[in-house]
Amino acid sequence: MVGLSLIIPAHVTDDDGDQGVGEPLKNVGRRLPWWARRIFGAVLTLVAVSLLIFVATQVLPGDAALAILGKEATPERLAELRAELGLDRPLVVQYLDWARGFVTGDLGTSLVSHLSVADELKTRALNSLALVIAAIAITLPLSVVLGVYTAARRDRFADNVTSGLMLVMNSLPEFVIALLLIVFLSTMVTHLLPSVSLFPAEDTAFNHPRAIILPVLTLVFATSPYLTRLVRASMIDELESEYVTMSRLKGVPEFRVVVRHALRNSLVPLIQGTALILAYLAGGIVIVEYIFRFPGLGGLLLESVSARDLPVIQATALLLAAVYVLANLSADLLSVAVTPRLRHGAGL
């Protein structure tokens, strides 16, 4: 997971046997609570990712100034625009200014539209958020119900059929699922739903629920098989445990055994799985948005790469990376919060 522990240098001693510089740092690390180490690790991860994003955008082929002015631009005008955009400054200075701006909320100005990057991200982020919320709202309860149902009826007909369907769906990439949904729901078979998500650019997807049905269904079909199989496997382990057997021998109703005991102790894998799905959506949503022409962060990222709009590329990529890191960090914290054994180990 992304929630990394703080790595402290080992004890170091010099030739005279005196304590080196490693021990004070080690003691500091020991004094930090577990949640502080997790958060510190997440911050370090984001810093490392920001460096990678900045370096990657700098090595992209092409010239941002040339992409803006066109091939007819003179060398003098290109040099003038590079100086105006700050592209002629040292890379270290450019990175520090960009990182400082991201922390303070000043993401700069788009090189193509000349609008604030924050304003461009705002509407696109809301659209992507609508997809993620709708997909998670369907996937989570659906996967829990199917996982618990199949685990309680292990190796029966319903379990075999459901597990087989989940395995087939899990093997299909997002673009195949999207194309199948378009074929069956928008073109050849029926015309129930629009094949592309079209609505005014100044509006948000929350006001156009019909336009997001196919993208949401694609994400649900792409993510629910994994979570369903995870819940099923976790529930089977719990249902075969000694405390469940003891509860049954005491005459506890089966529904109460499954829901109150087994499901409660399966929360940690469920939380971790949900975090992985959120992390997956942060990247996988790009493909889905491209197929349905959905005006979200994924579409904005692809458009910016084509136009070599560096401020928009950097801000969008780092925002998606931050979602990934925060999802995993939240899963780590929640897993400890709901597990007494882990809480005791963390000193809570």
At the fourth CATH level, the homologous superfamily of domain 117-345 is: MetI-like (1.10.3720.10)
**Each residue's pLDDT tens digit in the chain (348 positions)?**
433 333 333 443 444 444 444 454 455 455 667 778 888 888 999 899 999 988 888 777 666 666 666 677 777 777 777 777 677 778 888 888 888 888 888 888 887 777 888 888 888 888 888 888 999 999 999 999 999 889 888 888 988 998 899 989 888 888 899 989 988 888 766 778 888 887 776 778 888 888 889 999 999 999 999 999 999 998 888 888 888 888 888 888 878 888 777 887 777 788 888 888 888 887 778 888 888 888 888 888 888 888 778 888 888 888 888 888 888 888 888 877 766 665 555 555
Q: Which residues of 7-30 are buried (b: 16+ CB within 10 A; e: fewer)?
A: ebeeeeeeeeeeeeeeeebeeebe
Amino acid at 92: V
Which run of H or of E encompasses 243? helix 242-249
Dist CA 111 CA 158 (whole Å):
56
3-state secondary structure of 3: coil
Dist CA 343 CA 250 (whole Å):
29
Rounded to a whole number, what is the largest CA-CA distance in the chain?
A: 87
Amino acid at 334: L
Dist CA 322 CA 45 (whole Å):
9
The rounded percent of the chain whose pLDDT value lies above 70 is 83
Residue 208 burial (C-beta neighbours within 10 Å; 0-12, 13-18, 19+): middle
Dist CA 81 CA 75 (whole Å):
10
In angstroms and rounded to an integer, the radius of gyration of the C-alpha atoms of the chain is 25
Dist CA 234 CA 269 (whole Å):
7
Structure tokens at 176: 């195949």
Domain parsing of the chain, residue ranges: 63-106, 117-345
Structure tokens at 106: 């000043």
Cβ proximity of 230 and 221 under 8 Å = no
Dist CA 75 CA 79 (whole Å):
6
For CA atoms 32, 34, 337, 246, the dihedral sign is negative
